[in-house]
Copies of this chain bind each other. A is one copy, B any other.
């Protein structure tokens, strides 16, 4: 299957499973930087290959085969991120950028070698779970977004769900890192802002950030 197809099913997977958006061609088009028309065309094509269900004007839904393909690509992406992060001195943004390319040219054979070398890790450096060889995510995720965290409680950062350089730069600058401890000192629910404390520093985060930073209770 082509890079275009792999990226298409991956985008649907991420949109559906991760972002819980409603997955119409337009959303995918925006994510992939292609026209809506191209996304509709591709959706029809993939429906004919039984990778997704397509009905005019309705949301796209991956079939079992489509989900499996998406998870296979996601697995390779996250394994590369974990591998590059461990071996080289690369930032979260850099590992994402490289993984985005390598994921499509990685055989299952090589992916398994990388996984074994790393001791079959369950999470990548963003805290995202790494599917196993069969495309299964066995780790249960009880983490919640910072926007839903409770005032006064302590948490451990479990996921940084983004691919934006500026966000990662901000995180690096402020010690927002997978595994680090924070305290939610105030929830400004009306303004959708969250105040947290990390290493004696107090930071006020807006909705854009609290929606993509996930945490577990400490």
Contacts and interface: CB of A to CB of B under 8 A. Distances in A.
Interface stretch (A58-66, A105-113, A189-197, A200-208): A105-113
Interface string A96-137: 011001101111011001100100000000000000000000
A173 interface: no
A101 B90 contact: no
Interface of A, secondary structure class, is helix
A88 interface: yes
A107 B98 contact: yes
Contacts of A114: 88
A81 to B, nearest CB: 13
A1 interface: no
Contact of A113 (B90, B105, B107): B90
A98 B110 contact: yes
Interface string A64-86: 00000000000000000000100
A94 B108 CA distance: 13
A113 B102 CA distance: 15
A218 interface: no
A78 B37 CA distance: 41
A87 interface: yes
A117 B105 contact: no
Nearest to A98: B110
Nearest to A88: B113
Given A117-B87, A117-B88, A105 B101 contact: yes
Contacts of A90: 113
Contacts of A105: 101-102, 104-105
A165 to B, nearest CB: 14
Contacts of A106: 98, 101-102
A104 B102 CA distance: 9
Query: A90, A105, A107, A109: which has the most chain B beta carbons within 10 Å?
Result: A105
A115 to B, nearest CB: 11
8 contacts: A84-B110, A88-B113, A88-B114, A97-B107, A98-B106, A98-B107, A101-B105, A102-B106
